């Protein structure tokens, strides 16, 4: 990290013009992550695929964060963070300059943190860190189509967010993302709440989120923008909970999430049509383990089962089973190399919606031509 201390610059200028104003201490930090790797997928529309891909374990990013000490344990804070693709230099998150985060707020040691802007929801804050994809493994370990947003496929615009201080291991928070539409208060808005508890080796978290008309074409300035939301639907409701337990060098985790979509019509993370169902429901069950062999090396694994109910006149039942493995070695405190692999198999009924019937590992270039798919990645990550 490189810190730019700017306290005293303005004060020095003030002294030069005869001003006696005393200025509070401020700090701005420049930081980032560059994550690049090479992927092999055995079946992409019937053919094998070799490609470079950016930002799997962590999204490649560049950011600024800072604070101003207001006294009495209170600070003004901000964060501006963009995502980018290192292969072509393009901005991520639909070409937004600060697509990952853009907010300003106030932090108080006694009363918590209140922020305004483009931010993460409570599923990302409280449940995501207890999953493999939201903690140490990233995109490749996401649940099908990141249906529960534990890998933060979308952020929330126009958001006001509160996060409590740590109270004897307990923390809670919530977020509201406004539609910003006259006469359309409920058209493309988000409400989410969550809580966590940590006591020694045990960590627990739970969260709920409701999104009305996500990615609505009738309100592109709403809480979840088109080109940013994981699904386009009349409503998306998500509930999830997870637990982690540390035993020696091993961390064991279990997470359950439920996603209920009303009248979904499309998804950015589903290749091909999903048809016109009246509802689409996902239940995700994840077991994960991370074993720290040494301070420089860890092994990780995940077993995932997802079942879905697709209702379009009649009910169809699908299942996704996936196993994923990862090994990561730190070359230094800021640079590591890693290898990941995943195998996915789809079972159950055929819905007639090609976007759901074939295997599609998150991060693959496209879906398989059949019900199974494998992907292997070798990557290099540098933090600054």
The 3-state secondary structure of 332-363, one letter per residue: CCCEEEEEEEEEEEEEECCCCCHHHHCCCCCC
CB atoms within 10 A of CB 294: 9
The answer to the question of residue 4 being in a domain is no
- Partners of 47 in beta bridges: 44
**Cα–Cα distances in angstroms (integers) from residue 134 to residues 8, 58, 95, 252, in the given order:** 39, 9, 23, 14
**DSSP run (H or E) holding 16:** helix 9-16
pLDDT value for 24: 64
The answer to the question of residue 307 being in a domain is yes
The answer to the question of residue 13 being in a domain is no
- Partners of 327 in beta bridges: 299, 339
CB atoms within 10 A of CB 93: 22
Domain harbouring 93, CATH code:
2.40.160.10
- Tell me the residue range of the domain where 100 lies: 26-383
Q: Which residue in the block uniquely carries the two structure tokens 């879905």?
A: 308
How far apart are alpha carbons 327 and 297 in whole angstroms? Answer: 7
What tokens appear for 150 in the block? Answer: 């534990």
- What is the DSSP code (8-state) at residue 223? S
What tokens appear for 328 in the block? Answer: 């990561």
CA angle 348, 281, 160 (to 5 degrees): 150
The answer to the question of residue 19 being in a domain is no
The answer to the question of residue 310 being in a domain is yes
How far apart are alpha carbons 268 and 264 in whole angstroms? Answer: 12
pLDDT value for 23: 52
Beta carbons within 8 Å of 49's beta carbon, 6+ residues apart? 39, 40, 41, 364, 365, 366
Give Cα 321 to chain centroid, integer Å.
21
- What is the DSSP code (8-state) at residue 15? H
Global pTM value: 0.91
The answer to the question of residue 5 being in a domain is no
The answer to the question of residue 10 being in a domain is no
pLDDT value for 15: 40
How far apart are alpha carbons 332 and 247 in whole angstroms? Answer: 25
Give Cα 370 to chain centroid, integer Å.
28
The answer to the question of residue 212 being in a domain is yes
What tokens appear for 359 in the block? Answer: 């295997």
pLDDT value for 55: 96
pLDDT value for 104: 98
How far apart are alpha carbons 291 and 334 in whole angstroms? Answer: 20
- Which of 357, 323, 366 has the alpha carbon at shortest distance from 46? 366
The answer to whether the CB of 124 falls within 8 A of the CB of 152 is: yes
- Which of 50, 54, 67, 49 has the alpha carbon at shortest distance from 7? 67
Q: Write phi, then psi, for 95 (nearest 5 degrees).
A: 85, 15
How far apart are alpha carbons 135 and 117 in whole angstroms? Answer: 24
The answer to whether the CB of 139 falls within 8 A of the CB of 324 is: no
Can you point out the beta strands (E) in 213-295?
231-232, 235-247, 250-262, 266-267, 279-294
How far apart are alpha carbons 201 and 85 in whole angstroms? Answer: 37
What tokens appear for 344 in the block? Answer: 């996915």
Q: What is the pLDDT along the chain (384 residues), one digit of tens a residue?
A: 444 433 433 333 344 444 444 456 889 999 999 999 999 999 999 999 999 999 999 999 999 999 999 999 999 999 999 999 999 999 999 899 999 999 999 999 999 999 999 999 999 999 999 999 999 999 999 999 999 999 999 999 999 999 999 999 999 999 999 999 998 889 999 999 999 999 999 999 999 999 999 988 889 999 998 778 789 999 999 999 999 999 999 999 999 999 999 999 888 777 778 889 999 999 999 999 999 999 999 999 999 999 999 999 899 999 999 999 999 999 999 999 999 999 999 999 999 888 899 999 999 999 999 999 999 999 999 999
The answer to whether the CB of 230 falls within 8 A of the CB of 124 is: no
- The domain tally of the chain equals 1
């Amino acid at each position: 990290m490189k810190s730019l201390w700017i306290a005293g610059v303005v004060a020095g200028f003030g002294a030069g013009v005869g001003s006696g104003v005393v200025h509070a201490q401020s700090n701005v930090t420049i930081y980032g992550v560059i994550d690049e790797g090479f992927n092999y997928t055995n079946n992409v529309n019937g053919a094998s695929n070799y490609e470079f891909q950016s930002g799997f374990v962590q999204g490649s990013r560049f950011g600024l964060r800072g604070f101003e000490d207001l006294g009495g344990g209170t600070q003004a804070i901000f964060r501006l963070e963009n995502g980018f693709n290192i292969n072509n230099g393009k901005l991520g998150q639909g070409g937004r300059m600060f697509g990952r985060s853009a907010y300003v707020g106030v932090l108080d040691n006694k009363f918590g943190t209140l922020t305004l802007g483009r931010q993460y929801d409570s599923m990302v804050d409280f449940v995501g860190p207890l999953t493999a994809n939201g903690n140490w493994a990233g995109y490749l370990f996401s649940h099908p189509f990141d249906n529960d947003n534990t890998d933060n496929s979308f952020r929330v615009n126009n958001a006001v967010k509160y996060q409590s201080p740590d109270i004897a291991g307990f923390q809670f928070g919530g977020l509201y993302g406004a539609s910003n539409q006259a006469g359309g208060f409920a058209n493309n808005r988000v409400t989410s709440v969550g809580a966590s508890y940590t006591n020694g080796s045990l960590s627990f978290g739970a969260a709920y989120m409701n999104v009305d008309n996500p990615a609505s074409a009738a309100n592109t300035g709403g809480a979840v923008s088109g080109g940013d939301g994981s699904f386009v639907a009349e409503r998306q409701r998500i509930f999830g909970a997870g637990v982690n337990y540390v035993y020696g060098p091993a961390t064991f985790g279990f997470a359950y999430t439920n996603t209920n979509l009303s009248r979904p019509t499309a998804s950015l993370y589903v290749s091909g049509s999903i048809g016109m169902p009246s509802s689409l429901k996902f239940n995700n069950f994840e077991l994960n383990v991370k074993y720290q062999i040494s301070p420089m090396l860890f092994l990780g694994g995940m077993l995932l089962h997802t079942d879905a109910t697709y209702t379009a006149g009649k009910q169809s039942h699908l299942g996704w089973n996936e196993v994923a493995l990862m090994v990561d070695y730190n070359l230094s405190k800021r640079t590591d190399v890693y290898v990941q692999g995943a195998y996915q198999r789809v079972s159950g009924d055929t819905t007639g919606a090609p976007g759901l019937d074939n295997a599609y590992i998150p991060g693959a270039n496209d879906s398989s031509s059949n019900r199974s798919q494998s992907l292997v990645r070798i990557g290099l990550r540098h933090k600054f």
